[in-house]
Chain A
Amino acid sequence: MPLITEDGIVADSYRRLDGADPAADLIVPLDALAEHGDHAGRLGADVPNTARLEDVLPYLDRLDLISLPFPAFTDGRAYSLARQIRQAGFSGELRATGNLLPDQLQAMAQVGFSAFEVTDRFHPEVWLRALSRMSVSYQTPGTSARHVWQERALARHRLQGYSASAR
């Protein structure tokens, strides 16, 4: 399954296998994390989209990756969970899996997702283009888009600075 990040289409170093190479990067279910606490490689967790933030908070320091699922593209819970996890300070990879559609990738990036397990249903270029479809956003852009409210505030400041220096 192709993996898309800021760097484009990349190789996925993580495995979801039990009893894998102890040095490999591993993604395990959230409730199995305890068994892998001393894992030598990088460690990620599959977190269900029904989890509450409190379920994840104790592990944020230990985890290199958190993977959140979209069981159906209409099930938007992971958008909010991703936002909460980022606001709690998690800076590792936040990965979206499941029923992703190109038209949603930019919104996912905006709420804090940094990697996307996509399918072969669409051409890789379609997926990549989707990440920068809108060039402006009224909310936190999180991608290459410009934040409308911020741009407006900056423009006003520049204008004020200009009139101040002209005086």
Chain B
Amino acid sequence: MYRYDEFDHRFVAERVEQFRDQTLRRLNGDLSEDEFKPLRLMNGLYLQLHAYMLRVAIPYGTLNSRQMLRLADISERYDRGYGHFTTRQNIQFNWIALADAPEILAELAAVEMHAIQTSGNCIRNVTTDHWAGAAADELADPRPVAELLRQWSSLHPEFTFLPRKFKIAVTGSPHDRAATRVHDIGLRLHLNDEGERGWEVVVGGGLGRTPMIGVTVREFLPEDELLGYLEAVMRVYNLIGRRDNKYKARIKILVHELGAEAFRAEVEAEYARQTAALNGIDNAELERIAQYFAPPPFEKLPRWSPAYQSHRAGNAAFARWSRSNVAAHARDGYAIVDVSLKPEGGIPGDATARQMRAVADLAQRYSFDEVRVSHHQNLVLPHVRRDDLFAVWERLVAEGLDAANVGQAGDIIACPGLDYCSLATARSIPIAQGISRRFADLNRQADIGPLRINISGCINACGHHHVGHIGILGLEKKGVEFYQITLGGSSASEASIGTIIGPGFAGDEVPDAVEKIVTTYLALRQEGETFLAACRRLGAEPFKEALYATHH
């Protein structure tokens, strides 16, 4: 993992002191709320429906146990004993007092964390594959590049007042678990015939009101040119991106309105003008950072673990959990454990202080002190010996963290919705809870197989409903909440935007509607065909039939 040096420490400490001063000036009235707002937002502090919400950055979703313990402490001392992990691999605290915010930031700084740029029209927390450095299918660990981007984008003087917020995702695996095609910039690693690294640069993807799949502007950008090229992309966007309409200000609209070719020409012209502005200093820095991400001291183990096999054979619940929540690791004898934060009827992404401490303890004992946060709002123990899987599972059971549903119907992504968010038009959490209860039977979930249900409480799409295999969007009409359903979305390598299936449903009708969709799939699927594959083969018709035919 990356560790701060004296410069990183000083940078964050100075930001904290600056914010402490600004908060004091606000509290004693020297600053008006209008003047204070942009300052607090740049430190991740939002004013929500009921209280201030603090969004803390978890760079590329990687934490050590000390950091996780600190998050647990903060949730108890300053919040209500829990935190909410988000779709951008961050954590939010929902009940923060303004006067406490500077002290919380100071406590975070002590464990090398911050809330810089978790809000505002700037480059946000860089996200990546939550299995980075562990996945069996990975070409290389994307985190050194993600950390380089974190530093480069931190208070970047040129790109702090962009037309709109800007999100970058990075993947080092051909199997895209970072949703790179629906980000403002997605970076996908490729190796050429000589084994050299290059990055495919995808620009202009995004969700929100106008969902779009990004376009590739460079197929293979040599790694040592990465930062210079990204500066060119950012500069073009900053100069000619639309600022007349908030909803047309993301880079996807610029790419769409100019056309991919004209946009690429703008970027290449700008890039050609940059005569070695960075002078290779970025490459030296990347080399330095990469040393921090050397693999942990893995043991040389046999591929199979007899202990694991015998526990699987003797315990049906453990066997079921290991089928859904354990993934292949690059090293023999190791496995990746996905810790589901989606218990039956729970709030997606919420974890109590006690649960955070349990995961920190497990990481320390069994996973080289590493935890990851996934954009599916789950946690990951990336490096667990297969021999230890049963012990890890037993502890997860004791903490209520053993939901065996990762990637299945109960593993729902949902934004906070109208229960917390001042932008929301409808509630998301109760809808997620309703569906979760309806599909509570884990054997049934396993039979249904891979299924991604994503719920957003408004058109801003924080719950990524456009890329849910089943997407649910909460809207409001004349004071009544209703929910629009989309089918066939995906954020994986073959990304697609879901299509609206028909008229919306009342909140309490949603579980029935999802049930009908799933039943239709089960009746029509071919041998081994996933829900998404069946959707793509069948089209909307049979699902429409099931949902609306009886209404006539």
B214-267 contacts to A, CB under 8 A, are 235, 238-239, 243
Are A83 and B158 within 8 A (Cβ)? Answer: yes
Among B7, B152, B277, B288, find the residue whose CB has the most chain A CB atoms closer than 10 A.
Answer: B7
Number of interface residues of A (CB under 8 A): 38
Give which listed residue, B5, B38, B273, contacts A73 with CB less than 8 A.
B38
A144-167 contacts to B, CB under 8 A, are 146, 148-153, 156
Give which listed residue, A81, A107, A135, A146, contacts B155 with CB less than 8 A.
A107
Tell me the complex Cα distance, A91–B202, Å: 36
Are B158 and A80 within 8 A (Cβ)? Answer: yes
Q: Is the interface of A mostly helix, strand, loop or mixed?
A: helix
Are A74 and B38 within 8 A (Cβ)? Answer: yes
Tell me the complex Cα distance, A152–B10, Å: 14
B274 within 8 A of A: yes
User: Which residue on A lies nearest to B282, using beta carbons?
Assistant: A149
At the interface with chain A, which of B159-167, B350-358, B401-409? B159-167
Are A108 and B7 within 8 A (Cβ)? Answer: no
Are A135 and B235 within 8 A (Cβ)? Answer: no
Give which listed residue, A75, A76, A148, contacts B7 with CB less than 8 A.
A148
Number of interface residues of B (CB under 8 A): 35
- Contacts A76-B238, A135-B14, A152-B285 given; does A87 touch B157 at CB 8 Å: no
Are A134 and B14 within 8 A (Cβ)? Answer: yes
- Contacts A80-B238, A103-B39 given; does A153 touch B281 at CB 8 Å: yes
Give which listed residue, A74, A87, A110, contacts B277 with CB less than 8 A.
A87
As a 0/1 sequence over residues 140 to 162 of chain B, the CB contacts with chain A under 8 angstroms (1 = contact) are 00000000000110111111111
A82-103 contacts to B, CB under 8 A, are 83-84, 87-88, 103
Q: Which residues of B contact A84 (CB under 8 A)?
A: 235, 273
In whole Å, how far is A26's beta carbon from the nearest beta carbon of chain B?
27
Tell me the complex Cα distance, A137–B281, Å: 14
Q: Which residues of A contact B160 (CB under 8 A)?
A: 76, 79, 104, 107
Are B151 and A138 within 8 A (Cβ)? Answer: yes
Give which listed residue, B121, B274, B285, contacts A149 with CB less than 8 A.
B285
Q: Other CB < 8 Å A-B pairs besides A75-B243, A111-B157, A149-B281, 12 of them?
A: A74-B161, A76-B162, A77-B238, A106-B157, A133-B14, A134-B155, A139-B152, A139-B156, A142-B157, A146-B7, A148-B11, A156-B284
Binding site for B on A (CB under 8 A): 52-53, 73-77, 79-81, 83-84, 87-88, 103-104, 106-108, 110-111, 133-140, 142, 146, 148-153, 156
Binding site for A on B (CB under 8 A): 5, 7-8, 10-11, 14-15, 18, 38-39, 121, 151-152, 154-162, 235, 238-239, 243, 273-275, 277, 281-282, 284-285, 288
